[in-house]
């Protein structure tokens, strides 16, 4: 979900996690129909799965060290399998489409590693009653942190109905639920005509008796699909700041007492959703498979 300014709404339903939105918007999500080869229904068809994914060769790279900060965590996605000491797959269709009426079923099968990159693939594929499949990985009970800077270098999927997200959720989610646990969206994108280079960063929390969010967005001059960008959040007790390629575009003061969710540890989540009330259904222009390619995840903390 998301928005700009503080928007108070009836408390939405959330499941074993949640996802996404932005500036002046609140994001939930929707529903589409499966089509074999795109002859009928929502999507524009599924292209043959290549033996290897084309990984962009250009784009921004952030520094591997930062002044006054220590590297707390790094995953470069080397090797042949996801680091089980850091990541767990969340699977299935969730409750009400992961709280957003999303259309995909999450499965570990859509996560691969290639040449030091994590690849999450969204496919037009029937599974568990869903018309699409994708993957979602989470660091719950394995890695959490309180305050720091997160840098994630990624190339994003494109097309109407695509909803990639790099985000953080309160580590106490399983105890207090959402939005009471707090959520910081490092990067969200909803695909479609005129939207492919627009990036959103948002926080979600419980404001007294109602759900609230505050978000910002920026338009990039270069393609988010064909080259890498680095999506970042720097979070401390005084500020939460959002960056793309080390350029700040949004900021929040989390010091008021009603934002105490953001003084507690958070976990990391990476996923690609399909459909939902924010991006809407895939349409005839949407091609599958689509890929989110992540080069690295780094977490720094101040010395």
The set of residues, in sequence order, having a beta carbon less than 8 Å from that of 45 and lying 6+ positions away, is 35, 37, 38, 39, 124, 287, 288
- The active-site residue, picked from 144, 183, 196, 198, is 183
- The active-site residue, picked from 90, 124, 158, 188, is 188
Rounded to an integer, what is the distance from CA 129 to the centroid of its chain? 23
Nearest 10 degrees: Cα torsion 45, 187, 20, 112 = 50
- Count of Cβ atoms closer than 10 Å to residue 23 Cβ: 20
183 is catalytic: yes
Spatial separation of the C-alpha atoms in residues 162 and 122, rounded to whole Å:
9
Contact 228, 56 (CB under 8 A): yes
Contact 278, 190 (CB under 8 A): yes
Residues with catalytic roles: 183, 188
């Amino acid at each position: 979900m998301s928005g700009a300014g503080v928007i108070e709404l009836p408390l939405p339903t959330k499941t074993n996690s949640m996802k996404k939105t932005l500036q002046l918007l609140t994001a939930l999500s929707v529903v589409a129909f499966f089509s074999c080869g795109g002859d009928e229904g929502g999507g524009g068809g599924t292209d043959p799965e290549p033996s290897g994914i084309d990984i962009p060769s250009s784009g921004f790279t952030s520094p591997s060290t930062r002044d006054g900060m220590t590297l707390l965590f790094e995953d470069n996605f080397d090797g042949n399998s996801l680091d089980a000491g850091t990541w767990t797959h969340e699977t299935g269709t969730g409750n009400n489409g992961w709280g957003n009426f999303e259309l995909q079923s999450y499965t570990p099968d859509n996560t691969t590693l290639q040449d030091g990159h994590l690849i999450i693939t969204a496919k037009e594929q029937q599974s568990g009653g869903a018309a699409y499949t994708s993957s979602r990985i989470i660091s719950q009970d394995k890695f959490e942190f309180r305050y720091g800077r997160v840098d994630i270098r990624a190339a994003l999927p494109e097309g109407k109905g695509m909803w990639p997200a790099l985000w953080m959720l309160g580590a106490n989610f399983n105890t207090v639920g959402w939005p009471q646990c707090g959520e910081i969206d490092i990067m969200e994108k909803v695909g479609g005509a005129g939207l492919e280079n627009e990036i959103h960063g948002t926080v979600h929390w419980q404001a007294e008796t109602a759900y609230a969010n505050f978000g910002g967005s920026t338009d990039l001059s270069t393609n988010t699909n064909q080259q890498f960008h680095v999506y970042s959040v720097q979070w401390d007790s005084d500020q939460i700041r959002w960056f793309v390629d080390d350029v700040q575009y949004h900021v929040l003061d989390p010091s008021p007492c009603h934002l105490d969710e953001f003084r507690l540890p958070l976990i990391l989540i990476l996923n690609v959703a399909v459909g939902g009330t924010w991006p809407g259904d895939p349409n005839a222009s949407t091609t599958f498979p689509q890929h989110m390619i992540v080069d690295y995840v780094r977490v720094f903390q101040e010395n």
